[in-house]
Chains A and B, each alone.
Chain A
Amino acid sequence: MNNPWKFLTAMVILTTLLSALVGCGAQPPAQPVEPAAEATEAPAPAAAPTEEAAEKEVVLHTNLGAEPASIDPNLAQDTFAINSLEGMFLGLTNINNVTAEIEPELATRWEVSEDGLVWTFYMRDDVTWTDGNPVTAHDIEYSVKRAIRPETASPYAYVLYIIKEAQVINQTDVSSDTYDIDTLGVKALDDYTVQFTLEAPASYFLAISSLWTLRPVPQWTIEEYGKDWTEPGNVVSNGPYMLKEWKYGEHLTFVKNPDYYAADNVQIDRVEVDIITDQFTEVALYESGELDIAGDGPGTLPSEEIARIKADPVLSQELHEGPRASTTYVGFTMTKPPFDDPLVRKAFSAAIDRETMVRDVVGSGVPATQFAPVGIFGAPDPEVGIETDLEQAKAWLAEAGYPNGEGFPTVTYRYFASSLEEALGEALQAMWKETLNVDVNLESQEWPVFIAGINPETPLGEMPEMWRLGWGADYPDENNWVYEVFHCTASTNYSRAECTEADESAQQAALETDSEKRKELYEQVEALMFGEEVRAAPYYHRGYTILAKPYVQRSYPTFAPVNWDTWRVEK
């Protein structure tokens, strides 16, 4: 050991040994991760497809952007999961992601009782699960009951509360066993007819019937594998695509389901979905040709990249932009002075230069004055609410007793840590200073701290006067917006608003069966909530910015998840 080079070698060997030790430790548990290890029938050389196969097989390479938490339809919550399961599980109905209209899917027709309480769906009888079993009304009944059982702990159970007894059963204490699941308002009348009984008439129930939360799931598979039933190798599905592989944190592989009832219309044979979290890397992989699409996961590209893409002669031709059913707003704590004065809230809303925000800060989207974007059923067109008007903003603040911001206390705007939110916060701060001459503190918090810190149980003294939240459509109906997000008792009511005529109208609109009257009611609600009471200042509807190679023919996710089965790759 007198030679330093010997020592060096020793060090290297030591390092290698250490890593080998670690590597070995990792091996055995790695096996149960991929129960599909026996799926050797097709080795799926993702990195290097053989030339013969490549000629025939149509493959799409895209990126999800994050790991789905769970692709179990009853439990799915994040967009990454919803985009993944959309191709695997069919709904009673489907939302057309361009027109937002509700189309038949498993159900070919449906009818509503006179009083609007009983909905009957008639299902097609030619759909099978990937294990050969038929997809029946019993699978739907099982799924709805599973989603509502408290021990399932479905984060989306609340969208089904309109179903009779759903809320009562779902909110029974988990440890108690005191509910009777058979009182739930869902029943398979025969193999292909399913009937829902509602708590109250709700014309938006048709939109709800498209949601992933109540899509049929295979009882026998769930009972056999428990929570592992969605793992590749175990999972049984019924849609155009099947999950073939899921390497955690790396990628998912979906292959076309040959037994799908409309398989002839599905052109893409295999969808390789990467999980790449860094969006700059995603764009680089797109440019190198390894990805056919960039930006589909979160629906947007980083704003820093958009300027470069727009200046590039090739990339600019491959950039697709448009609106999404999603809104960002400044929320007001309506019980905290000086924001208990509607004039102050009006002034702060009118002082936001929405055009500048969209053009210079976000780089995508459209200016907003109301909560739900046009296209959502019931969303007023043209928009109502408070428009950007700097002179009016000054006048309102003066009327509230703070001419030119004099005597106005320093207030706080709180957002969650992200580079976009920071830029937006700084722009808001500057706009409020310039127009209203008021000082606003910016406060950035990590997401869990942020969301826990603005809930209605937080003491008023710890609440910021203003905070950032947003909303994206679950289903294209105003009920999912003004009622589920801002109603004084039925929603979380982050703004701490008292119940007014607006809440009454929102409730009334939910029960109204005449669609024209519903639209009128929602117009009132939007005008009251965001134009008069100003519970929040919506300032932009988010947009999508997605890069797609010219050989990809596809639709864009305006209202609903992506549907690979309707896309084409024409190389």
Chain B
Amino acid sequence: MLRVIVRRLLWFLPVFCLVTGITFVTMHSLPGGPFDKEKTPPALVEQMEAVFGLDRPLHEQYLTWLGNVVRLRFGPSLASRGRPVESFLLPGLSVSAQLGMWAMLFGLLIGLPAGIVAALGHGTWLDHGATFVAILGVSIPAIVLGPLLYWLFGLELGWLPVAKWAELSDGIVPYFKHALLPAITLGAGISAMLARLTRASLLQVLHEDYIRVAHAKGLAPRVVTTRHALRNALIPVVTYLGPLTAAVLTGSLVVEQIFAIPGMGRYFVTSISSRDYPTVMAVVVIYSVIIVAANLGVDIVYVFLDPRRRDAS
């Protein structure tokens, strides 16, 4: 087990260099630069580029960047005249991760039981109901669900704030009041995906021969379902959860925009469109670290779910 982890972490180094190198070159080869504005004469654009070292050869810039990242410094944001990238990205990540965690929790608590209930009651109204809700959840995008929720609960009923974020230090009640609608908006899609995946996977497993054998041995239906079927059925679900965790924890542009949440999600888009190279790089680094960690987590969970993996390691 430890060997798996160590090997994974060592593998991360070449992956890291490759991912950041490709991003660096791609970003710099896009037309347009961070200082191109309607009103700025080209001579002044060049001057700003020189001050921020963008006129130096690309490999030199990359090595400087790499040297800084090793010391956990992401460099100056070009979109805000040299504000350190980590000074706004890490607080943003903290907010996004909190929101993402609540959305995941919502997704898991609704999605897994719904999928299980639908599969077990295959063909009954329970199944149809759960499937209908799941399809609804998958097909209503956050950009519709978000405004719908804040209109209903914020404007019409006045129970919850329309938008904005509250810190835990502002009090536990304001915190959850502000987090609820965005967490549901973000979590609805997750729960629907999870429900569909769990249902499909469990249905397939329930028709396997070994399940029939388990029934034939005279095991109680509950035991067959939980010990034999569900554990196997969860493997695809867990696989899906790895990259999903990375995506959800680093924030969603749409949900953060709709609910005016100061998260990290927006920087995935704005840093590229403003050619803020250091912020783009920082976003890529954070995302790849989280995705590697999440996949590692998935692999560890596999070991618990699948005895064959335990033997292998």
Residues of A whose CB lies within 8 Å of any CB of B are: 1-4, 7-8, 10-12, 14-16, 18-19, 21-23, 25-27, 29-30, 32-33, 45, 47-48, 67, 69-70, 72, 75, 77, 150-151, 153-158, 170-171, 174-175, 227, 247-250, 274-278, 280-281, 284-285, 287-288, 290, 446-453, 455, 457, 469-471, 474, 492
Contact = CB atoms under 8 A, between A and B. Distances in A.
Nearest to A280: B147
B145 interface: no
Given A26-B91, A47-B166, A248-B262, A452 B36 contact: yes
B105 A3 contact: no
Given A19-B98, A30-B94, A448-B31, A281 B241 contact: no
B75 interface: no
B93 interface: yes
A474 B86 CA distance: 33
11 contacts: A7-B231, A14-B297, A15-B105, A18-B294, A22-B94, A248-B91, A250-B165, A288-B155, A288-B162, A452-B31, A492-B42
Contacts of B108: 8, 11-12, 15
A15 B166 CA distance: 21
B155 A470 contact: no
Contacts of A250: 165, 262
Contact of A47 (B38, B40, B174, B234): B174
Contacts of B164: 274, 276, 285, 290
Nearest to A5: B226
A448 B275 contact: yes
A288 B156 CA distance: 9
B32 A449 contact: yes
A150 B147 CA distance: 47
Given A22-B94, A22-B97, A448-B30, A290 B297 contact: no
Contacts of B278: none
A288 B104 contact: no
Contacts of A150: 47
B92 interface: yes
Contacts of A284: 147, 150-151, 154-155, 162-163
Contact of A451 (B38, B82, B245, B266): B38
B51 A19 contact: no
Interface residues on B, range: 35 or more
A155 B88 contact: no
Contacts of A33: 87-88, 91
Contacts of A2: 226-227, 231
B68 interface: no
Nearest 3 CB-CB pairs, A to B?
Answer: A448-B32, A26-B94, A248-B88
A7 B304 contact: yes
Contacts of B140: none
Interface stretch (B18-26, B127-135, B252-260): B252-260
B33 A452 contact: yes
A29 B249 contact: no
A317 to B, nearest CB: 18
Interface of B: 30-44, 47-48, 50-52, 79-83, 86-88, 90-94, 97-98, 100-101, 104-105, 108, 112, 147, 150-151, 154-155, 158, 161-166, 170, 174, 226-227, 230-231, 234, 238, 241, 245, 249, 257-260, 262, 266, 273-275, 290, 293-294, 297, 301, 304-305
Contacts of B90: 25-26, 29-30
Contacts of B38: 451, 469-471
B257 A16 contact: no
B37 A155 contact: yes
A568 B91 CA distance: 35
A154 B35 CA distance: 11
Contacts of A156: 39
Contacts of B147: 280-281, 284
B260 A274 contact: yes
A299 B30 CA distance: 31
Nearest to A490: B41
A281 B294 CA distance: 33
Contacts of A151: 51
Given A18-B297, A47-B174, A277-B260, A11 B36 contact: no
Nearest to B241: A11
A448 B33 contact: yes
Contact of A1 (B87, B274, B304): B304
B32 A276 contact: no
Contacts of A67: 80
A278 B252 CA distance: 14
A156 B44 CA distance: 8
B32 A249 contact: no
A457 B234 CA distance: 59
